[in-house]
Amino acid sequence: MYNPVAEIHLGRLSRNLQKIRDQVGDALIMPVVKANAYGHGSITIARKLQDENVGYLAVFTMGEALELRQNGITTPILLFSRLTPDMLEPAVENNLTVNISWPNDFDTLTSFVADKGKGPKVHLKVDTGMSRLGVAFDEAADILERLAKTPQIELEGIYSHFATADEGDLTYAHLQIDRFNEVVTLAGKMKLNVKYFHMANSGAVLNLPDSLFNLVRVGMLLYGAYPSDETSESIRVEPVMNFKGPIVTVRKVAAGTPVSYGSVYVPDKDCNIGVIQTGFADGLPRNWYENGYVGFKGEQFPIAGRICMDQMMVNFGDVVPKEGEEVLFFGDEGETQIRIENIAREVNLTTYVLMTAIGGRTRREFVED
């Protein structure tokens, strides 16, 4: 059977983790494995990270957390999603950490603890400028006072999230750090026994060394790509995923013969057109065809025409590939390398969008190297 393949290199993951550890010093690393570990396969990735003795993992939904628990992951897990009452019992039963990200989340927790006598560990999220989830910065003092008076709720951490950590102008990011420092100071004055303070994501690890506190959350950088063109590349990470597609047929096409939908691609000389059984339903951005290319045996060949739902065509020129051979969309195969960052730039998307789009019919193969 022909399917696209995401070849996941676990040795590269381990090396990236060590490089990040070297960068952040004593700060604990919390790998983010939400969205199927950014398309890499959350269960296997989490197992590898657990073997590497990471202190925490992060997911978005309860379903993601329970899937990890059901597959032998015992490492502490933080859920980023908005707290709902039905999350609390499974959180306690499975040793999952939830977050307070809205004022009435506190009431939800206190009601549960009053009824059950015990609640899950909690991290308080403070909105310092993202305007998404998080207790408003100017309401944080009130929530902290309420938590200080409710010792039966275990406040393990306080955190926030950057809006612009991966951009060139870091003025707003520094404002967010200042606000978060005020919250940290306030928690200290209230003598709250908070174990973790965290704000840094991948962009901040690269651009904002004063944001590390004692825990950092890393996703994209761990998987071997950079969040944007405006982050430092001071940590030289390796792409964990090689995304590839199978060649299912090769046909000789005469000069002047249109290829694919809209007939927008017309070769100016006779060529070999390879049909690749991978399309935009598998995560390839449809508009990548305009300047796009694939890698094959150390060379790059242009995409021929619009990418289809299930297939795409490539102009191999005079080269005649064999049926069943694979092309590289992005990753590092030694002689053939294509950076996902380059594709993101060309199609005006982010590496996050491209990486998490890979799913469905793609077969994942895990390699220890």
Catalytic residue among 34, 48, 125, 244: 34
> Cα torsion for 33, 37, 41, 43, to the nearest 10°?
0
Q: In angstroms, how far is CA 226 from the centroid of its own chain?
A: 11
Helices 171-189, 140-148: inter-axial angle, 10-degree rounding: 30
Catalytic residue among 116, 118, 252, 261: 261
Q: Count CA within 13 A, CB hemisphere, residue 241.
A: 29
Asked if 261 is an active-site residue, the reply is yes
3-state secondary structure of 51: helix
Tally Cβ neighbours within 10 Å of residue 189: 10
> Which residue in the block uniquely carries the two structure tokens 């550890």?
21
Q: Running DSSP on this structure, what letter comes out for residue 321?
A: P
Sign (positive or negative) of CA dihedral 68, 30, 51, 331: positive
Contact 10, 40 (CB under 8 A): no
299: nearest Cα among 276, 324, 319, 269 = 319
| SS3 assignment for 289-310 | HHCCEEEECCEEEEECCCCCCC
Active site residues: 34, 261
